[in-house]
Amino acid sequence: MADAAAPHPSGHAAAHPPGFAHQFEDMGQQHEAGSLGMWVFLVTEIMFFGGLFATYTIYRALYLPSFEIGSRLLNVKFGAVNTVILIGSSLTMALAIHAAQTGKRQATVVYLILTMILGAAFLFLKFNFEWTADYHEHVVPGFGFFVRPEWGAAGPHVPMFFCFYFFMTGLHALHMIIGFSILGVLTWMAHRGRFTPEYYAPLEISGLYWHFVDIVWIFLFPLLYLIGGRYALRGGG
Amino acid sequence: MSTVVADLHHEAPSEASRVHYLNASYGIKSWLLTTDHKRIALLYLASITLMFFVGGTAAVLMRIHLIQPQGSLFEPGTFNKLFSAHGIVMVFFFLVPSIPATLGNFLVPMMVGARDLAFPRINLLSWYLYITGAAFALYAILSGGVDTGWTFYTPYSSTYANTHVIAAALGIFISGFSSILTGLNFIVTIHKMRAPGLTWFRMPLFLWSMYATSIIFILGTPVIAITLFLLGLEHILHVGIFDPRIGGDPLLFQHLFWFYSHPAVYIMILPGMGVVSELIPAFSRKRIFGYGFVAFSSMAIAVISFLVWGHHMFVTGQSIYAGLIFSVLSFLVAIPSAIKVFNWTATLYKGSISYQAPMLYALGFIGLFTMGGLTGLFLASLATDVHLNGTYFIVAHFHYIMVGGAVMAYLGGLHFWWPKITGRMYPDGWARFAALVIFVGFNLTFFPQFMLGYLGMPRRYAVYPEEFQVLNVMSSAGASILGIGYLIPLIYLFWSMRYGPVAGPNPWPAKGLEWETPSPPPTENFEHTPIVTEEAYDYANMHIPPSESQVSGETHG
Amino acid sequence: MAMFQQSVQLRPPAASTIAEGVDRLHFFLTGLTLFFTAIIFAAIFYFMVRHRRRSPDERPAGIEGSLPLEILWTLIPTFLCVWIFVWAASLYFENSRPPTRSTEIFVIGKQWMWHLQHPEGPREINELHVPVNTPVKLTMTSEDVIHDFYIPAFRVKKDVLPGRYTSLWFEATQTGTYHLFCAQYCGADHSEMIGWIFVMTPTDYAAWLAGGAKNEPMEVTGEKLFTRLGCVTCHTPDDKGRGPSLVGLYGKPEKLRSGDTRIVDEALIRQAIVNPNSVLLPNFAPVMPTFQGQVNEEQVLQLIAYVKSLGTEERQKK
């Protein structure tokens, strides 16, 4: 038979810090639940992107020449700069969390804004430079894709590479846009002093998400940009 | 006995003035913006019931059409849209969410002794995602239909079909996120919010089955999401992902599709097994036999279910060695289910058994699930699957498990927890009658289909050779009885909400934290977090005062 | 009543060499299913009656479980499953290997009909005439969506896929007429994509082959296509042309430019015709154009029949 636990101590409002959700027993449980929830969500994201990566891998194996042609048409410089930008943004995110943990409100806001700037820079480079250039070069499937004769027999399957390229980086960009919005909310909350050394769980949980989006890019970049045979060893092929 | 010690709230003068989750606030906003898991469960109950009758109507129309070998009612194109609608609605909008989103949402927090799920607002979001998805699916059906079957095989669906493929796929895609969020909520709640003293092995088995189901939700649903996305992309852009004329592989779609859809069938049955694991002890007043084995078998089923998808593809021309591997694993996944059946049956031994409607549903489940599961062996066996694949044998097999199993468990659970959910008792005489009608109608509908399949009648046929007519007519006759059987509970359950006798906290009585709250429970479930000191199903030590027992345990039948 | 007597058969005709074996397994599984369902139902009924609640405050014995029982009812199903798996898998293996001397017939499925092509020339739509007691191997492809070739009486079934070949084989043991069904949903008239298999005595079959419309053998049509499409200009019988000689090539392993070695079978020849860059040979420049869109599946099969026939006299002499 279940017995009753001791009733709430008096002074209810003082017993729980702000941001406490009443389905939980205490902040510790809330924090753990939030973290576990984000990790479980990230597992679903791994399965989501994983299905795409698996399909990409299969078609790359089937149509290697076409995929190599497509990969070589991508701009490695932009990809590399974007990779550095994203890794930097993960650093600033971690610094923001650390600042909140140590009670530095101003620093928290600054680091969050920096993270947003870097995220925006990533998206700006991608959309304004890479994708716009791709559109003008007629390599966007469904938007006037032009199969060049010099691609020879591998030509017909090059659109498939670009389909995967735009879909995978587009899905990634969508996740970044969502992350960017979350960062905006967090920056506002930090500015209003909502985070304390005791309560910074939203930052930590969003940080997990942001790092995950970063890691997805770290897989995408080599898979799409780097292994297209452009760095073949001498005497190979 | 009661959870609450000296609390003013509980000494309310009369039932009528007691505040509980149903009357705590009024108005449509209080329902549409609720974060109370119990209200969300009812929102799901209403929408899922609606979808069940949409899918059921399609089935009735098909069965009437199939009375005549050359088709009496519909053009083949319309028939194809009917079976597609039936499959899509029943799989994605009824069976997958049914028990988890209604009974699961209602009971998981109560069974762990918590005030709500870990993320109540995400719970509400999941309902909105469900009805948005359902709206797209209904739009697809009502605006002309989709005719690819619920399996959407390519290249038919990606290149050739000119029906509402995108709308239907979008509806399923959106509702998939509903499942993912539900599963996420359950996993975190069960891990982090169990009351003090509630160890994993003291949990009711319903929680184990919700946990196992949630694992499949989390790992499998994203894959169908991306598959449907790729299908949509192919349908619009024609880049050749699944079209062999431009280099695509149509079988790749099947691998991706079944990677989710096979575990999905375990999403559909594990919760039913969890319900049965609650009903059998309650109505035998005895602890479940082999608790640990039943708990671990749920987990084993969840894991192995991800390894067997290729058994849907034995005749696609895939390598016979791949066939061997998937066949052996498909046999393996049958073993944990067999263990459950034996444990449930053994629980009855030397029990104190009463035959109210929930128990009848549970016992029917055990028998029909056994039969449905054993017919799965015919299909896991490579040599016989060649003959039976794509025929009515498959249709009979999965309907035995989904309808004879999952739907009966769902009804049993609804009846069992009805007094807790509504505070009212339903008329058990009518309920037992309906259970019997459903049992008879079900078997008459689907048993002939095993024979039809073995004789060679393929599935998804709008017209068929005359020699199959007698069995088809039998099946259609059964379907009409089954349809009536499902309408009866709809009527008396509705009736009972207003006119049924008021139920006390524990009318059966049964063991479980949910039965230690008033019926209906207050919004916060428990006045104080319970502390659990005993094992699950501790019926040996249960006090059964005659006054509390509303549905008395006289012998029946 | 007569309709009832006639119409409720319990078993389709068992008209092929493998049918009896498949049926034996099927009946064993039926017996197993009925047996276990019966004992579970019986146990439930027995316990329901024997242990029905006799008074409202009855308190049954506290039985937790029994490890020996759990082991027993885990091991017995496991053993049964292993036994059934091995039985079914070995049957499946046997049934999947066509005998070496099979009559080959080609099948093209398309929405919503079956085209069947005998190598000797005759073409059929939705009907297939075959001799009894003769192994027949069907090589099949689809022109559009996925279909499935299903002959219940022979217990054979195989999906028919666009862009590749699948095959099944059977040896009919009884003359007669048997159903042919499409068993993979393929669109509007899926249930009309049905036909008949006519199993005839060898003499009747020979007469049927010889009679009827005089279609030339596949390899003859193939040879004409080979010339008309210009294949002959590169694929000269010596290896001096721009392409390799195809004489005696069928059935031999070939090392491709990619390093893989593949047997020259129907699938490889088809690939070479529609996507030559995927099966390039070393020592030959990659100049073969693709014929995708210029030949339909039927013509591809005719070309394959011609290539198969090349060098058979030399092979026979050797």
Q: Which residues of chain A have a CB within 8 Å of the CB of B533?
A: 1-3
Side-chain half-sphere CA neighbours of A186 within 13 A: 30
How do residues C154-201 score in pLDDT, each as one tens digit?
999 999 999 999 999 999 999 999 999 999 999 999 999 999 999 999
**CB-based burial, A127-147: b 16+ in 10 Å, e otherwise:** eeebbeebeeeebbbeeebee
Parallel, antiparallel or unpaired: strands C127-131 and C195-200: parallel
Q: List the 532-551 stretch of B: residues with Cβ below 8 A of C.
A: 539-540, 542, 544, 546, 549
Q: What percent of chain A is modeled with pLDDT above 70?
A: 90
Q: Return the DSSP state at B353.
A: B
**Using CB atoms, which chains have 3+ pairs under 8 A with B?**
A, C
What is the per-residue pLDDT for B546?
A: 60
How do residues A180-228 score in pLDDT, each as one tens digit?
999 999 999 999 999 989 889 999 999 999 999 999 999 999 999 988 7
Question: Does A155 contact chain C (CB < 8 Å)?
Answer: no
How do residues C211-244 score in pLDDT, each as one tens digit?
776 778 888 999 999 999 988 888 988 877 888 8
How do residues B8-59 score in pLDDT, each as one tens digit?
344 444 556 788 999 999 999 999 999 999 999 999 999 999 999 999 999 9
CB within 8 Å: B317 and C41: no
Among the partner residues A32, A48, A55, nearest to B222 by beta-carbon distance: A48
CATH number of the domain where residue B286 is located: 1.20.210.10
CB within 8 Å: A55 and B246: no
Question: Does A140 contact chain C (CB < 8 Å)?
Answer: no
Annotate B360-404 with DSSP letters as a single string.
Answer: HHHHHHHHHHHHHHHHHHHHHSHHHHHHHTTBHHHHHHHHHHIII
CB within 8 Å: C89 and B317: no
Q: Which residues of chain C have a CB within 8 Å of the CB of B323?
A: 92
Among the partner residues C4, C181, C184, nearest to B456 by beta-carbon distance: C181
What is the per-residue pLDDT for A2?
A: 42
What is the per-residue pLDDT for B161?
A: 87
CB within 8 Å: A142 and B236: yes
What is the per-residue pLDDT for B363?
A: 96
User: C178: helix, coil or strand?
Assistant: strand
Q: Is the pLDDT of residue A1 over 50?
A: no
CB within 8 Å: A40 and B218: yes
Contact A227, A186 (CB under 8 A): no
Confidence tier at C288 by pLDDT (50, 70, 90): confident
User: A228: helix, coil or strand?
Assistant: coil
Average pLDDT score over residue span A99-110: 94
What is the per-residue pLDDT for B7?
A: 38
CB within 8 Å: A2 and B195: yes
Which tokens go with A181?
């919005």
Contact B527, A4 (CB under 8 A): yes
The domain made up of A27-236 has a fold known as: Four Helix Bundle (Hemerythrin (Met), subunit A) (1.20.120)
Q: List the 537-556 stretch of B: residues with Cβ below 8 A of A.
A: 541
- The pLDDT mean for chain A works out to 88
How far is residue B214's CA from residue B108's CA, in Å, rounded to a whole number?
12
How do residues A25-37 score in pLDDT, each as one tens digit?
888 999 999 999 9
Among the partner residues B3, B192, B541, nearest to A2 by beta-carbon distance: B3
Annotate B496-521 with DSSP letters as a single string.
Answer: HHHHSPBP-S-SS---SGGGGS-SSP
CB within 8 Å: A167 and B233: yes
Contact C148, C139 (CB under 8 A): no
Q: List the 396-425 stretch of B: residues with Cβ below 8 A of A.
A: none
One-letter amino acid for residue A134 of the chain: D
Average pLDDT score over residue span A64-72: 90
Q: Which residues of chain A have a CB within 8 Å of the CB of C275?
A: 153
Size of interface A-B (CB pairs under 8 A): 139
In a domain, B2, yes or no: no
Confidence tier at C6 by pLDDT (50, 70, 90): low
What is the per-residue pLDDT for A217?
A: 96
Q: Which residues in chain B show pLDDT less than 50? A: 1-13, 548-550, 552-557
How do residues B360-416 score in pLDDT, each as one tens digit?
999 999 999 999 999 999 999 999 999 999 999 999 999 999 999 999 999 999 999
Q: Which residues of chain A have a CB within 8 Å of the CB of C276?
A: 153
Pick among 3.30.565.10, 2.60.40.420, 3.40.50.300, 2.60.130.10: CATH of C103-211: 2.60.40.420
Query: CA separation (Å) from C41 to B357, B370, C46?
Result: 17, 9, 8
- The pLDDT mean for chain C works out to 89
What is the per-residue pLDDT for B240?
A: 82
Q: Which residues of chain C have a CB within 8 Å of the CB of B339?
A: 70, 73-74, 77
Q: Return the DSSP state at C172.
A: B
Length of chain A: 237
Of B303, B354, B295, residue with least CA distance to B507 = B354
Give the angle C84-C88-C91 at the CA atoms, nearest 5°: 145
pTM of the model as a whole:
0.91
Confidence tier at A3 by pLDDT (50, 70, 90): very low
Query: CA separation (Å) from B180 to A47, A48, C114?
Result: 12, 11, 44
> Choosing among C277, C278, C279, C280, which should be mutated to test the A contact, i.e. which has the most A CBs within 10 A?
C277
- A7 or C95, which is more confident? C95
Q: Which residue range(s) make up the domain with B437? A: 45-548
How far is residue B414's CA from residue B103's CA, in Å, rounded to a whole number?
7
What is the per-residue pLDDT for B306?
A: 96
CB within 8 Å: B316 and C9: no
Q: Closest Cα of chain A to C27: distance in Å?
A: 41
**Using CB atoms, which chains have 3+ pairs under 8 A with C?**
A, B
CB within 8 Å: B458 and C181: yes
- Which residues are paired to C108 by β-bridges? C115, C141
What is the per-residue pLDDT for B189?
A: 97
CB within 8 Å: A59 and B241: yes
CB within 8 Å: B226 and A142: no
- For chain B, the domain total comes to 1
Which tokens go with C6?
């006639």
Task: Compute the Cα dihedral for B150, B154, B157, B161 and give only its sign.
Answer: negative
Q: Which residues of chain C have a CB within 8 Å of the CB of A152?
A: 277, 286
What is the per-residue pLDDT for C259?
A: 81
Among the partner residues A5, A32, A167, nearest to B529 by beta-carbon distance: A5
Size of interface B-C (CB pairs under 8 A): 298
Q: Return the DSSP state at B69.
A: T
By C-alpha distance, the chain A residue nearest B537 is: A1
Question: Does C64 contact chain B (CB < 8 Å)?
Answer: yes
CATH 1.25.60.10 fits C218-317, yes or no: no
Q: Return the DSSP state at A151.
A: G
> Choosing among C3, C35, C180, C190, which should be mutated to test the B contact, i.e. which has the most B CBs within 10 A?
C190
Question: Does C295 contact chain B (CB < 8 Å)?
Answer: no
What is the per-residue pLDDT for C3?
A: 47
Of A117, A109, A110, residue with least CA distance to A89 = A117
What is the per-residue pLDDT for B554?
A: 38
Q: Closest Cα of chain C to B389: distance in Å?
A: 8
In a domain, B64, yes or no: yes
CB within 8 Å: B381 and C88: yes
How far is residue C306's CA from residue C217's CA, in Å, rounded to a whole number?
10
Confidence tier at C8 by pLDDT (50, 70, 90): low
How far is residue C115's CA from residue C195's CA, in Å, rounded to a whole number?
11
Can you give the residue ranges of every domain in chain A?
A: 27-236
Q: Which residues of chain A have a CB within 8 Å of the CB of C290?
A: 153
How far is residue B190's CA from residue A50's CA, in Å, rounded to a whole number?
27
Confidence tier at C31 by pLDDT (50, 70, 90): very high
Task: Compute the Cα dihedral for C213, C214, C216, C221 and give only its sign.
Answer: negative
- C275 or C133, which is more confident? C133
In a domain, B487, yes or no: yes
Q: Is the pLDDT of residue C316 over 60?
A: no
Side-chain half-sphere CA neighbours of B304 within 13 A: 20
Interaxial angle between packed helices A201-220 and A76-101, expressed in degrees from 0 to 180 and rounded to the nearest 10: 160
CA A40 to chain centre: 16
Question: Does A61 contact chain B (CB < 8 Å)?
Answer: no
